A = this chain, B = another copy of it.
Amino acid sequence: MSVFTEFDLMKDLHQSGDKIVLLVMDGLGGLPMEAGGMTELETAQTPNLDQLAAQGMTGLSIPIRPGVEPGSGPAHMSLFSYDPLRYEIGRGVLEALGIGFRMGPNDLAARGNFATADADGYITDRRAGRISSEECVRLCEKLQSATGNMFENYQVFVEPVKEHRFVLVLRGEGLGGDLTETDPLETGKRPLPVTDASNSEAGRHSADLLNQWAARARQALADETRANSLNLRGIAKDPGLPLLPEIYGLKAAAIAVYPMYKGVASLVGMEVVDFEGDRPSHEIDALERVWNNYDFFFIHVKKVDSYGEDGNFDAKVHEIEAVDAVIPRILALKPGALIVTGDHSTPAKLRSHSWHPVPTLLWSPRARPDATQSFGESACAGGGLGIFHATQLIPQAMAHAGRIKRFGA
């Protein structure tokens, strides 16, 4: 009995066809602020999205598993059709992508935390008193100069993130393994050594390099009052994912403002489009410019989520309306399939990501219309896409764009 995965199926069945647009409003799903009220999306005036919902199909998508609140990284993996429980991206890699660091296949990345230790090296504050981001920049420069050239065969990159957080990347041949973190997770303990749980040559070698680096780095920090120690966490390589262009036979472009989304898109093989500006309309300018060069377009609108996190219901509503306003420009390009969805819910009421499934619409000249007449959470619950795992969206879009051959005779 052979196991044939969905990716195998898509590799076998894809063919050329129409263009696909995946428009993601980060954190789109919401909640009413009060019982009996409407969600952000239901409150927004969205005549264009409502028309797409009426002509196309809607549903609710589950990013990870029912009840599981998604982080942005795994939620995007799921939208890109990679089950996040199966395809894991290490936290170090996500942190590096988040600051716009372009990971290569020979890179090993770790999240770093500056910490405070006493004279014997026992950690007294795991976040070094949450030093300022400016302080973080200065410390990273100090470490870069103290450790940048310490290895003959490996490059070292120490990059600030914010406050006490930084990224360490080692670049060179033969890195890897399943590497443990140094953070003892409580104060009153010393940092742990990095060890390798994979029991591989690459793992042992990488653990050795990281321990050498940590010792040298702590030495260099010895004269600091607060950030005189550090920990390394989430140590990981580019996971070497199967590539979306190969699975689906699509030349794929990513149009996004924030680094992490560009990074996750590039991990699955999309090309990142450079453009000026940060509004939805600027993203559509870019879309129009590169339309003839690609088959698949991922467009990411971040601010919908940001306003949800702020608890700013009205601002989230207005950002959704700004996206609605650019829909006619997308339709004018005549895509074969247009998905409008979120990566997860971020209800302003909760000021946080949440597990609630995500309103989704799929418009296509080939869509079978359902009863939905507007784009909103309650309406989507009764839509023709049902309540489905987000990994199903790209295969659905492929079909609607005429890009999947018949399976079997």
Interface residues of A (CB under 8 A from B): 1-4, 6, 9, 13, 29, 31-32, 35-36, 39, 55, 60, 64-75, 84-89, 91, 94-95, 98, 239, 350, 353-357, 366, 368-371, 377-378, 381-388, 392, 395-400, 404-409
Contacts and interface: CB of A to CB of B under 8 A. Distances in A.
A1 B87 contact: yes
A67 B355 contact: no
A383 B370 CA distance: 12
A30 to B, nearest CB: 8
A316 to B, nearest CB: 15
Contacts of A71: 406-409
Given A55-B35, A91-B409, A406-B70, A366 B386 contact: no
Given A382-B381, A388-B387, A1 B239 contact: yes
Among A68, A95, A385, max chain B CB count under 10 A is at A68
A408 B36 CA distance: 32
Contacts of A89: 408
Given A368-B31, A371-B381, A67 B406 contact: no
Contact of A378 (B64, B68, B370, B388): B370
B65 A9 contact: yes
Contacts of A392: 65-67
B398 A70 contact: no
Nearest to A386: B387
Nearest to A76: B408
A251 to B, nearest CB: 19
A208 B195 CA distance: 49
A399 B355 contact: yes
Contact of A356 (B95, B368, B377): B368
Nearest to A395: B67
Contact of A72 (B3, B95, B409): B409
A239 to B, nearest CB: 7
11 contacts: A2-B88, A13-B68, A35-B55, A66-B388, A67-B397, A68-B404, A69-B404, A74-B408, A91-B409, A371-B381, A386-B386
A349 to B, nearest CB: 9
A59 to B, nearest CB: 8
A177 B406 CA distance: 26
Given A68-B13, A388-B66, A409 B84 contact: no
B382 A68 contact: no
Contacts of A55: 35
A368 to B, nearest CB: 5
Contact of A73 (B1, B64, B408): B408
A29 B29 CA distance: 31
A211 to B, nearest CB: 24
B409 A88 contact: no
6 cross-chain pairs, A with B, having the tightest CB-CB distances, nearest first? A71-B408, A386-B387, A67-B399, A67-B395, A74-B408, A355-B399
